[in-house]
A and B are shown apart, each in its own frame.
Chain A
Amino acid sequence: MTFPNPPDIREATAARQGSDPAISPAASSVVVEARKLSLVYPTADKPVTALSEVDLTIARGDFVSLIGPSGCGKTTLLRVIADLERPTSGHVAIEGMTPEQARLKRLYGYVFQAPALYPWRTVERNVMLPLEIMGLPKAERQKRAREQLERVGLSGFERKFPWQLSGGMQQRVSIARALALQPDLLLMDEPFGALDEITRDHLNLHLTQLWRATGKTCVFVTHSIAEAVFLSTRIVVMSPRPGRILDVIDCDSLPRERTLDIRESPEFAAIAHRVREGLKEGHSYDD
């Protein structure tokens, strides 16, 4: 029986053990850098260009949202950063490393569209999964899992199974699981897309507080303008087919500390307007 996997993964894993990603030397303030990044999917009839000449720089501590209509390649861009897809051409660096090196060093935590919890594991054991793979001792795993579950407000749910939790709670567990790795970089792919608006508001507030408390760099994919403006320090507007960047909007006019009230402010409206204009320019509203 063989388990095909490049041997370098295990070596890199072994080299990584014991060192803490949080105290790795911060070489520069640039966390993610993409230059002329393109990705073309070969399909049966004609190749589909998912990303076309994307240039993007994400600084440490930023909360960057990628916004655009469905099929604009925002998820693809996130997956390229996470080394879940390989670009056709161009260059991308995470902390000065290739995406593969960054993945092997477990530099990022990834939150998917769906909670993607393993149904046979309890909430706590789901959060402990990445720590088991890292080879942490049991006591440490449990400690970290408890901490992160507390951070997302789910203390007391450790022994529950995923099906016993609501959709919003499941997604919070998946955020706790990503945080348990203690990554500097958090990649989130429409984590709240499937939730109702009330739950989504609640989780947005939770997420922005979490981001401020931890100082992590976040890349957040969404198709909600309000969500993007509320959470972000910078918003990247993307257009569909081929996926390219139309506009990068700084949200400096909003305070770093966000409450739900800021959504009524004129600054908020101005940024939302600019995002909408950007999307219009990219013919996102065309049929």
Chain B
Amino acid sequence: MTKRVLPVTVMTLLLLVSWYVGAAWLNWPQAVETLARAGNPAGFGDVLAQAYAMKRPILPTPDQVVVELWNSLTGYAPTSPRNLLFHTWVTTEAALTGLAMGLVLGILLAAGIVYTRTLEASLLPWVIASQTIPILAIAPMIVVILGNIGLTGLLPKAVICMYLCFFPITVGMVKGLRSADPLWLDLMRTYSASGMRAFWSLRLPASMPFLFASLKVSVAISVVGAIVGELPTGGQAGLGARLLSGSYYGQTVQIWAALIMASLLSVALIGVVRGLELVLLGRADGR
């Protein structure tokens, strides 16, 4: 345990120090200007204090971000649009819905590819090609098209998440469904088991470790997808909307608070996936 704590602490401290140095360096010209405008004589200490206390800094300090996080989490009711939790929940909802859709699509595609040679030849290139399109380019199109047929709110965002999520799941599950040991497959044959039976009793359980590896990637990019999906909707709710309104009004502290929240959300969701993996596969894994 101590072996881990020390390097992590050292890295965190280094990061914080460089953050503060960077904040001073980036905010310095603005701070000098502000003080000059007020007509005060400015010593080094005054400028530094001003650089760390800007209302709209180029780079806010960690303590400013923490205070902003704390205020926006505790200052309002959790259901209020002024509370960051509200926005986090909106994003989480979209990310999880999209992940579920991506999971179903990914597994169906993988099963099709594994079981049908023609699908492998015809489908796999398209699956790969789909990921070469920048999500920033296609996300507004998805929102526009779905909006045109009357689908707004959660669903367009979830579709964008699904678009990003299904890929790692398809790739992982194709490998996973093929991971069954030849002897295990021979065994099914000696039992004259049907293809369906071999799928449920052998190929699918054998693929679970691969599925969880893919899920950890997918859940993180699903959060990114949800945030990207919130940008073109004009920013009513969600972490993406928070980022957008922050940049409209130059509220860098608010942007950073939303960024930190988004990464905390990803970490938490990956933690949930890891927990599920331990519960479902832990004992069988032997680790």
Interface residues in chain A, defined as those with a beta carbon under 8 Å from any beta carbon in chain B: 1-5, 9-10, 12-13, 82-84, 103-106, 108-110, 112-114, 116, 118-121, 129-130, 132-134, 161, 163-164, 181
Contact = CB atoms under 8 A, between A and B. Distances in A.
Nearest to A134: B191
A80 B190 CA distance: 12
Contacts of B196: 3, 5
A164 B284 CA distance: 10
B184 A5 contact: no
Interface of B: 108, 111-112, 115-116, 181, 183-184, 186-199, 201-202, 205-206, 208, 281, 283-286
Given A114-B183, A118-B202, A133 B193 contact: yes
B199 A3 contact: yes
A1 B108 contact: yes
Contacts of A134: 191
A181 B190 CA distance: 11
A164 B285 CA distance: 10
Nearest to B199: A3
Contacts of A104: 192
Given A1-B115, A2-B115, A112-B186, A163 B197 contact: no
A263 B5 CA distance: 61
Contact of B187 (A103, A116, A163): A116
Contacts of A132: 201
B194 A9 contact: yes
B190 A13 contact: no
A161 B283 CA distance: 8
B116 A2 contact: yes
A119 B192 contact: no
A127 B8 CA distance: 47
11 contacts: A1-B111, A2-B116, A3-B115, A104-B192, A110-B187, A110-B190, A112-B183, A116-B184, A120-B205, A133-B188, A134-B191
Contacts of A105: 192
Instruction: Tell which of A10, A110, A113, A118 has the most Cβ of chain B within 10 Å.
Output: A118
A105 to B, nearest CB: 8
A133 B108 contact: no
A53 B112 CA distance: 42
B110 to A, nearest CB: 10
A191 to B, nearest CB: 12
Q: Which A-B residue pairs are the 8 nearest by beta carbons?
A: A3-B195, A5-B195, A163-B286, A116-B183, A120-B284, A110-B190, A104-B192, A133-B191
A5 B188 CA distance: 12
A118 B193 CA distance: 15
A271 B281 CA distance: 50
A133 B192 CA distance: 9
Given A103-B189, A163-B286, A13 B194 contact: yes
Nearest to B109: A1
A106 B111 contact: no
B25 to A, nearest CB: 55
A104 B192 CA distance: 5
Nearest to A109: B190
B281 A120 contact: yes
A104 to B, nearest CB: 5
Contacts of B186: 84, 110, 112, 116
A114 B24 CA distance: 65
A88 B188 CA distance: 23
Contacts of A130: 191
